[in-house]
Structure formats: structure tokens, C-alpha cells
Amino acid sequence: MRREEPRGIESAMAQIDERLPENIQGDFFVDATCIDCDACRQIAPAVFRDHGGQSSVYHQPQNPGELHRALMALVACPTASIGTESHRSAHAGVTAFPVHVVDDVYYCGFNSEASFGAWSYLIVRPKKLGGNVLVDSPRFNNPLVKRIEEMGGVNLMLLSHRDDIADHAKFAAHFHCPRVMHEADGATDRGIERVISGVAPLRIDEDLELIPTPGHTRGHQVFLYRNKVLFTGDHLAWSPERGTLTAFRDVCWSSWTDQTRSMEKLLDYRFEWVLPGHGRIGHGSAEEMHRHLQSCVERMKKQ
């Protein structure tokens, strides 16, 4: 039976009697509720591994850096599937979020099971430049909300598609911020304040451009920040195995043909960072990322 969504990190814990046998002996462990979202392996790759369909601990933290990352993974886990035999305090992991990624962009942590552990991001900007922007939604968790308040709150929410919106309504109500979402993903029914239609790109402000990219879902859209950071939702991510950008046909819920066309449309843009909701973060020069995107599009066409 799935545990209830926690209000605070203290209220949900991994169960020692459900500890997966693939875990190495020691304090940290992953239990059988793991949904294989990959968050822990991205955050603390020195501690967690994929053993086939789920994550497990293959190396117990041996130094302060590894311990800190392991606690961050514990906090970010959307199903509270990571625990410690010693019931170690997760305070250091809680206070780490939002954690810096690049420039004024932060990863929120506190991934939500409602979005299958998707990553969400916070752009921190002065009020005169439009204020802070939340890209997709993490869990609505009190320590995270308090920290976001300290960082300036949320002035706008950009929602890439219906899968990764998690607790968007709670964040919108708390911060009194408008949300932006495409009508083809049910934005109107969700009470979204700014509903996008069509496939034409839209300039949100001087820093941000919205680019409709139907395919994964009918209303999927990506966001380009300062011609440097591309928030890609579930359309595009980095593949460590291939060493290039990739798309995921097996989780394309609407149209692979449309998704291929959408990715081809992105060749008109330049970016250096790909920050996905699912999949790995990618980084390179604008020229390198353009070449990777070209290769990705060619592979998509062949599929």
C-alpha cells in the first residue's frame, strides 16, 4: 500500500522491513516502494545505482560530500523510498533545496509522485525583471515553500505539460501567481490563468520564450531562458549512455511524428543547457548542443 503524501519530510519514512535485497549492507537503503524515477541516481551517483527497474544503495557514504548528496536524494525521493537504519536527521538534505544549477536557475528537489518524480526548477530574478519563475511543480512542502519565500517567492508558474504539474494549484494559491499552460493539455479545466493555444512561439518577457512542442502530449511546451537554458519537460534530455541528446519514444503519449517535428523546430534556437523534467541534464556550448539536437532529430526521423 502506497504511503500518504507527506506534509513534511518527517512524516514519511522508508520501511526497513521492505528493504530491497540489492542494497549493500549499511545505514542507507532503498525500499520496495521505489518507482525507478532516477532522481537519487542523478543526485548521488556515488551512492545509488539502477539494479534493473529500481534503485538501490551500492556504496554507503564515506565522506561528508557523499553523505550530503545521499541526504539530498532522500529528501527529493517522490515516494519516500530512501531511509536510514539509524533514522539519521535529514535536515541537511532539506535545507539544501532549492540547489543551484546554473546562473540564477535552481533545482527545487522535493520531487512529487504525482508527476512520477519529475524535476522542477526555480528561476530567481529581481522584481524589475519580472520576478521569480517556477517551472513545473515540486511537492508542496513547508520547508521548501519557506525557502522559496526567502528567495523572493514565485511571480509566475510555467507548466510544460499535464504530467509534471504536481501541486501547482497549491503553489499558485500560496504565492498568488498566475500559471501558464497550453489548452490542449486541459489548462482551462484546471483553472489556469493564462491559457496558450496554437503552435506559434510566444515571448513571455525579455528573458523567456515559450515554444509549443506537441508530441509527448498534445499541449507540451518548452521554455527558453536567455537563449541559454532550455526547460524541456518530457521532450528532450541528455543520454549518458549515448553521450548525446535523446527523446523517449516509449513514453510518447500523443504523437511521435509531432514530437519529431517539434524537436526539428528547436533547431532554430540556441541553448547551452537542457533541463528536463525526466532524464539527465545536458550542458555544452551552443554549437555542441545544436549538433546533438541535429543528431537526435535524425534518429527520431528514422524511428
Listed by start position, the domains of the chain span 9-93, 99-302
Cα 299 → chain centroid: 24
* Confidence at residue 164, expressed as pLDDT on a 0 to 100 scale: 95
- CA separation for the pair 61, 29 (Å, rounded): 11
- CA separation for the pair 82, 194 (Å, rounded): 37
Say whether 249 sits in a helix, a strand or coil: helix
* Confidence at residue 181, expressed as pLDDT on a 0 to 100 scale: 98
227-283 pLDDT, tens digit per residue, is 999 999 999 999 999 999 999 999 999 999 999 999 999 999 999 999 999 999 999
β 221-225/121-123 pair status: unpaired
Contact 119, 39 (CB under 8 A): yes
- CA separation for the pair 194, 303 (Å, rounded): 35
* Confidence at residue 4, expressed as pLDDT on a 0 to 100 scale: 37
Q: The domain 99-302 belongs to what CATH superfamily? A: Ribonuclease Z/Hydroxyacylglutathione hydrolase-like (3.60.15.10)
* Confidence at residue 12, expressed as pLDDT on a 0 to 100 scale: 65
C-alpha cell belonging to residue 75:
529528501
DSSP per residue, 33-73: T----SHHHHH-TTTEEE-SSSEEESS---SHHHHHHHHHH
* Confidence at residue 89, expressed as pLDDT on a 0 to 100 scale: 94
Predicted TM-score (pTM) above 0.85:
yes
Confidence band for 8, pLDDT divided at 50, 70 and 90: very low
Say whether 300 sits in a helix, a strand or coil: helix
C-alpha cell belonging to residue 92:
541537511
Same fold flag, 9-93 and 99-302: no
Single-letter amino acid, residue 300: M
C-alpha cell belonging to residue 63:
565522506
- Measured in degrees and rounded to the nearest 5, phi and psi for residue 273 equal -125, 135
67-114 pLDDT, tens digit per residue, is 999 999 999 999 999 999 999 999 999 999 999 999 999 999 999 999
Q: Helices 286-302 and 256-265 sit at what angle, rounded to 10 degrees?
A: 160
Q: Residue 148: pLDDT above 50? A: yes
- CA separation for the pair 190, 182 (Å, rounded): 11
- CA separation for the pair 54, 46 (Å, rounded): 16
177-207 pLDDT, tens digit per residue, is 999 999 999 999 999 999 999 999 999 999 9
Q: Which fold has domain 9-93?
A: Alpha-Beta Plaits (3.30.70)
Say whether 93 sits in a helix, a strand or coil: helix
* Confidence at residue 41, expressed as pLDDT on a 0 to 100 scale: 98
Q: Which residues pair with 31 in a beta bridge?
A: 19
* Confidence at residue 191, expressed as pLDDT on a 0 to 100 scale: 96
Of the CA atoms within 13 Å of residue 60, those in its CB half-sphere come to 10
* Confidence at residue 13, expressed as pLDDT on a 0 to 100 scale: 80
Query: Which element (helix H / strand E) includes 150?
Result: helix 142-150
* Confidence at residue 199, expressed as pLDDT on a 0 to 100 scale: 96
